[in-house]
Amino acid sequence: MRTLLGLGIVLAVVCGAHAADEKKLDAKKLVGKWEPVNPKKGEAMVMEFTKDGKLTVTGDMGGKELKIEGTYTLEGDKLSFVLKFMDNEIKETVTLTKLTDDEMEGKDKGGKVESFKKVKPK
C-alpha cells in the first residue's frame, strides 16, 4: 500500500497539478516512453503512454520491480489517469506545464517542478 501511495504521489508530481489557464497540448507528443530527468536514488521508473489511451508504469522502487497498467486521457493540458495496482485503483488528474517531442514537465500544488525526458528507441 505504501508503494501504491508513493507511486500516486510520484505521478502527480511528475505530471504536475496547478491551477492555470487550460492549454491545448498535442496528445501525439505524449505517446511513448518517459523517464525522470532527476530520478530519486533507488527509484527507477518509465511511464509508457500508447496512442490508444493505455498507460504502463514499470520500474524499481525500493528493490522491487513494479508493473502497473491503466488508462489515460489528455484534454487541453489536463492529464487524467486511472492505474490499477493489486486490488487498488489510483485516479488522478494533473496539469502539464510543458510537453514537447522530448520533454514533459509539470508543477505540483506545492510548486515543485518535475521534468521527464522521452526515452529514445535503441
One digit per residue, the tens of pLDDT, for the chain of length 122 reads: 445 444 555 555 554 443 444 578 899 999 999 999 988 877 789 999 999 999 999 998 777 888 999 999 999 988 889 999 888 998 887 789 999 999 998 766 666 778 899 998 87
**Residue 41 pLDDT:** 79
Task: Spell out the domains of the chain, with CATH numbers in brackets.
Answer: 2-118 (2.40.128.20)
| Residue carrying the nine cell digits 489515460 | 72
Burial class (CB in 10 A: 0-12, 13-18, 19+), 82: middle
The DSSP symbol for 43 reads E
**Residue 51 pLDDT:** 96
